[in-house]
Amino acid sequence: MDHMQMRYLERLAELYPTIAAASTEAINLEAILNLPKGTEHFLTDIHGEYEAFAHVLKNGSGSVRRKVNDVFGNTLSDGDKQTLATLIYYPREKMAQILEHTENKEDWYKITLYRLIEVSKRAGSKYTRSKVRKALPPEFSYVIEELMTEKVDVRDKESYYNAIVQTIIRLGRAEEFIVALCELIQRLVVDHLHILGDIYDRGPGPHKIMDKLMTYHSVDIQWGNHDVLWMGAAAGQRGCIANVIRICARYGNLDILEDGYGINLLPLATFSLNTYGDDPCTCFALKGIPADLTPGEAEMNQKMHKAISIIQFKVEGQLIKAHPEFSLEDRNLLHRMDLEKGVLRIKDKEYPLLDTHFPTLNPMAPYVLSPEEEVIMERLEKAFINCEKLQQHIRFLLAKGSLYKVYNGNLLYHGCVPLNADGSFKEVELYGRTYKGKTLYDFLDSSIRKGFAAANRAERERGRDMMWYIWLHVNSPLFGKDKMATFERYFLEDRETHKEKKNPYYLLLENEETVNRILEEFGLPAESGHIINGHVPVKSKSGENPVKCGGKVLVIDGGFSKAYQKETGIAGYTLIYNSYGLILAAHEPFESTEAAIEKESDIRSESIIIKRVSQRKLVGDTDTGRQLREKIRDLEMLLEAYREGVIGERFPVRR
């Protein structure tokens, strides 16, 4: 036994000071290995749609309803099972609605408590008692554990349980107890949540989604390009800040910044009115105007939309000049406008401009901010950096997130692995070094973290600018297109100029050789691994299939964002990976939380079994299982050291 091994075992002995303690822990871990694996839940491209997200989270993409069906089968009607499921999703609201029309409340409490206890038992059956105990609400933990645990030594079990339930009702705690059971079921049906990027932008509630995720029991996040954009903005990167505000303005969601994060947009609003007051700003019409936005607010939004867009093009021009290594010179278009002729020159062709009113543009220095624009950006930069709630959310993204994750035989990332047309990994040169495949992901992940944590100021600034690069660069795995045609979409009618050509990755997802190469690059076996990603919506209504390459690739962006649902025809895909296999759910649009409670209109979903295992997967078959086996081996080494007298047992001293 070498010196380092001995030191490690001595530290382990501090945790397990006796043969009995080490043996008990090894036995407990061995028992856990033989439990069914926990259910994993995959969501992607949520894009601020808080209500739909919260509902899918509550119902576990149908996992709650499946548990209700498993328990009650044909013993309850479909209507009763749906009412019970809705109660589990929204316990306080649904209970208030039911009790308003219930004469014998005590009977309802009794029946409902029994039903919820049975569902709780089923939901908790795949976990150790210790794990279930940790999930229990402190206020009712002892009572719930008693009700969920089989009492083999109690002769009259029915009387025993009746006495507990009757006491709960008699003491006026039935409603709170029902809420506690419902929340416990929600907690137990999903063991771990994966978010495959793009929490932010388009929808009105990304800040609420972040608040929800921060309270979730077990989650990891693979950053999307929109998430990295907000991370860059929080770090004070001006290109990211301008893009964040522009997108919020475009979708009529500036209140995310003002109300959600407390970022003052009054200076921008005042500047927009003074500069573009007489300008109809027709090129900057809002996309998907929120129902609660008044005509006056919509008009104000359009002016702010134009103002921040022009600032963005200037700021990005400065970034492109400061970083020639990014090779983005062709994206600088302000200096190619001839406002007298009303055209934009791209290469040898002239395109008519839809808007020629640019009062803040200096033709001699088109990328220089006007004094007023500079003041606005200085204030916005400070506002983003000093916004405590935003910084809290970004710290959570950094702690729980990464650009990719390998988990239980699946490779998770948001966008793509940049490829050449022949399927080989595209080489990307950055700061004098070449990266491709996994090394590109690792470098970009490290760059993001340095943008927040690097002690060296120059390195920190470079990391912040890399977040802007990741947002829009052709070589970014989170963007994966040849250009971001924002300028062309605003100012040119010719739709050919709007096209953004996808990386060959998206054309090669049915090529097994290419897919196997990607899996092996990230350390997964080609024969059993899967790639799960989002980013590009799957156009279901056009017949596009989210399942690629015989089930090896699952593209689960189906249009959570309402802005995409006309294209996709559905309201998003989610994926469930339980001990029986992989289940893909295609969801119809979510009406509203009110409708879900009042009309019990659950999100209608069509489930497709992607992979069913012949033998139920156990914890021992997972990454957690491998870690537990390593710990068992370490404990066995410690036991051997105890028995050979290399390390002495440490018994507590009795006084």
- In-domain check, residue 595: no
Question: Range of 380's domain?
Answer: 226-406
- In-domain check, residue 109: no
Rounded percentage of the chain residues whose pLDDT exceeds 90:
76
> Which of these three, 378, 406, 434, is where a domain ends?
406
C-beta separation of 19 from 172 below 8 A: no
List the beta strands (DSSP E) in 124-171.
none
pLDDT-wise least confident of 155-169, 192-206, 496-510:
155-169
- In-domain check, residue 334: yes
Chain mean pLDDT for the chain: 91
- In-domain check, residue 278: yes
Question: Around 458, how many Cα atoms within 13 Å sit in the side-chain half-sphere?
Answer: 0
C-beta separation of 603 from 586 below 8 A: no
User: What is the band of 25 on the pLDDT scale with cuts at 50, 70, 90?
Assistant: very high
What residues contact residue 342 under an 8 Å CB cut-off, 6+ apart? 352, 353, 356
The three-state DSSP-derived secondary structure of 252-319 is CCCHHHHHHCCCCCHHHHHHHHHHHCCCCCHHHCCCCCCCCCCHHHHHHHHHHHHHHHHHHHHHHHHH
pLDDT in tens, 381-415: 999 999 999 999 999 999 999 999 999 999 999 99
Return the DSSP state at 368. Answer: S
Which has the closest alpha carbon to 191: 36, 392, 302?
36
pLDDT in tens, 50-60: 988 998 889 88
> Which of these three, 383, 406, 429, is where a domain ends?
406
Choice between 594 and 42, residue whose per-residue pLDDT is larger: 42
**What's the structural domain count of the chain?**
2
- In-domain check, residue 562: no
Q: How many CB atoms lie within 10 A of CB 107?
A: 11
Tell me the average pLDDT across 294-323.
96
- In-domain check, residue 386: yes
pLDDT in tens, 562-612: 665 565 545 678 888 999 888 888 777 666 778 778 777 665 556 667 777
Tell me the average pLDDT across 299-321.
97
Phi-psi group of 536: left, alpha or beta (phi > 0 → left; psi -120 to 50 → alpha; rest → beta): beta
- CA angle 33/35/39 to nearest 5° reads 110
> Which of these three, 376, 406, 436, is where a domain ends?
406
Q: H-helix or E-strand containing 65?
A: helix 63-72
What does the pLDDT read at residue 129?
Answer: 86
- pLDDT above 70: residue 261: yes
- In-domain check, residue 254: yes
Which has the closest alpha carbon to 210: 187, 240, 180, 234?
234
What does the pLDDT read at residue 291?
Answer: 75
Structure tokens at 645: 């007298």
- In-domain check, residue 137: no
Partnered with residue 553 across adjacent β-strands are 531, 548
Q: What distance in Å separates the CA atoms of residue 587 and residue 333, rounded to the nearest whole number?
A: 41
User: What is the band of 561 on the pLDDT scale with cuts at 50, 70, 90?
Assistant: low
User: What is the band of 19 on the pLDDT scale with cuts at 50, 70, 90?
Assistant: very high
Which has the closest alpha carbon to 179: 118, 112, 241, 268?
112
Q: What distance in Å separates the CA atoms of residue 270 and residue 517, rounded to the nearest whole number?
A: 54
User: What is the band of 559 on the pLDDT scale with cuts at 50, 70, 90?
Assistant: low
Q: Dihedrals φ, ψ of 603, to 5°?
A: -65, 120
pLDDT in tens, 520-530: 999 999 999 99
- pLDDT above 90: residue 503: yes
Tell me the average pLDDT across 154-164.
74
What does the pLDDT read at residue 156?
Answer: 65
What does the pLDDT read at residue 654?
Answer: 67
